[in-house]
Amino acid sequence: MSLLAVEGLTVAFPGNIAVREASFAIAPGETLALVGESGCGKSVTAFSVMRLLAPNARVTAGRILFDGIDLLAMTPAAMREIRGKQISLIQQEPMTSLNPVLSIGAQIAEVIRRHERVTRKAARARVVELLELVRIPDAARRIDDYPHNLSGGMRQRVMIAMAVACGPKLLIADEPTTALDVTTQSQVLDLLDDLRRRLGMAVLLITHDLGVVAQWADRICVMYAGRIVEQAAIGAFFTRPMHPYSRGLLGARVDVGADEHYSLNRLSEIPGSVGSAAGEAGCAFAPRCPLVVPGCRLAVPPLIAQGERAVACPVVI
Ligand SMILES: Nc1ncnc2c1ncn2[C@@H]1O[C@H](COP(=O)(O)OP(=O)(O)O)[C@@H](O)[C@H]1O
Ligand SMILES: [Mg+2]
């Protein structure tokens, strides 16, 4: 059974539908990448799973099954038990998520004590272990540091320590390294992957960086204007991306394989933006699509299974 199964998720803001009938599943221990340009609905999807959507957001359809139970039907109290213990979220900018007036040790201990009955002393010992687990050097001393004492990379490690403190089954990492330099970025992603293996977590890795996806994910979901337009195993996706938008994304990478057809089809050369088809009938990518045919503008193409993968474009099938 899937650890997480999102089924037909639709999330609306006043005057704007951010996520449209999104369905995907994550197996235990798996890393699924959720990819797409800024504004396509990745974070709204993540916040839906966490039940942390803004007050003006409304889930108008769908289910989010975690271990077979619909998170959307849970009471706020039951959801608080799950959040941080079974499912954790790390976000892009650690400085805004950390409390500047509390030591990092106190903040990590707070997460542990929220979910488990442990003494202060035992919690502190666990915090040192966690800091070591996320490879913060000299953990026993750093535990009393404040967030501003740490570099961006070290702060993100603290966020990861908080996220994995209670051994979650699912970690949602929403652009976890976007604010970091390239070297620190791969150290943090290596760490996440190591923790995934050691703790047996599944990871929903949200990114717009396909290089990151190629290196760290097992499967990929490509989102465009709120819809999932392609799903595939990593090998199949990079060997043969199917949706024209996926091909465009891959073309935007510098070092993509030998197939010149894909490399020529650069996303940066496709005019328009994610929002350009909002509210129109048909495929949202049609206005930017090099393969568009008249039928594309008539109805939204459904995601059609092709063996292990799925693509929402009848033109390429
Ligand atoms: N609090 C909000 N109020 C209104 N619209 C929002 C809000 N949060 C997100 N949106 C809209 O939802 C869409 C998807 O946003 P988001 O999921 O943050 O995109 P991304 O893929 O970059 O993470 C965007 O059009 C965005 O403007
Ligand atoms: Mg986002």
Q: Give per-residue pLDDT as tens, 52-77.
A: 999 999 999 999 999 999 999 999 99
Predicted confidence at residue 95, as pLDDT, reads 66
* Mean pLDDT, residues 29-39 taken together: 95
pLDDT category, 94, cuts 50, 70, 90? low
Nearest CA to ligand 1 atom 16: 41
CA dihedral (242, 244, 246, 247) positive or negative: positive
- Given a contact cutoff of 8 angstroms between Cβ atoms, the answer to whether 291 and 316 are in contact is yes
Rounded CA gap, 295 and 317, in Å?
14
Mutate to test the pocket of ligand 1, among 11, 13, 274 (most ligand atoms within 8 A of CB): 13
* Mean pLDDT, residues 93-109 taken together: 89
Class of domain 4-217: alpha beta
Atom of ligand 1 nearest to the CA of 36: 21
Torsion of CA 101, 106, 110, 111, to 10 degrees: 100
User: In the predicted model, what is the mean pLDDT of the chain?
Assistant: 90
Least confident of 127-131, 188-192, 271-275, 292-296: 271-275
Backbone φ and ψ for 223, nearest 5 degrees, come out as -110, 140
Q: Which two tokens stand for residue 246?
A: 């996926």
Predicted confidence at residue 238, as pLDDT, reads 94
* Mean pLDDT, residues 35-40 taken together: 93
Q: Which two tokens stand for residue 79?
A: 């959801």
Q: Is residue 264 classed exposed, middle or buried when 0-12, 13-18 and 19+ CB atoms within 10 A define those classes? A: exposed
Predicted confidence at residue 257, as pLDDT, reads 42
Per-domain residue ranges of the chain: 4-217, 225-311
Q: Which residues pair with 22 in a beta bridge?
A: 9
Positions of E strands within 212-253: 219-224, 227-233
Nearest CA to ligand 1 atom 27: 39
Compute the distance from residue 43 Cα to the ligand 1 centre, in Å. Answer: 7
Ligand nearest to the CA of 92: 2
Predicted confidence at residue 270, as pLDDT, reads 52
Least confident of 129-143, 159-173, 270-284: 270-284
| Residue linked to tokens 């967030």 | 147
Question: Is residue 212 within a helix (H) or strand (E), and if so which, with residue range?
Answer: helix 210-216
| CA-wise closest residue to 248 among 224, 268, 267 | 267
Q: Which two tokens stand for residue 157?
A: 């490690």
Ligand nearest to the CA of 38: 1
pLDDT in tens, 134-157: 999 999 999 999 999 999 999 999
| Residue linked to tokens 């979910």 | 115
* Mean pLDDT, residues 168-179 taken together: 94
Residues 6+ apart with CB under 8 A from 91: 97, 159, 174, 175, 176
Rounded CA gap, 278 and 204, in Å?
26
Predicted confidence at residue 250, as pLDDT, reads 86
Buried b (16+ CB within 10 A) or exposed e, 220-250: bbbbbbbbbbbbbebebbbeebbbbbbbbbb
Total residue length of the chain:
317
pLDDT in tens, 285-299: 999 898 999 999 999
Nearest CA to ligand 1 atom 12: 18
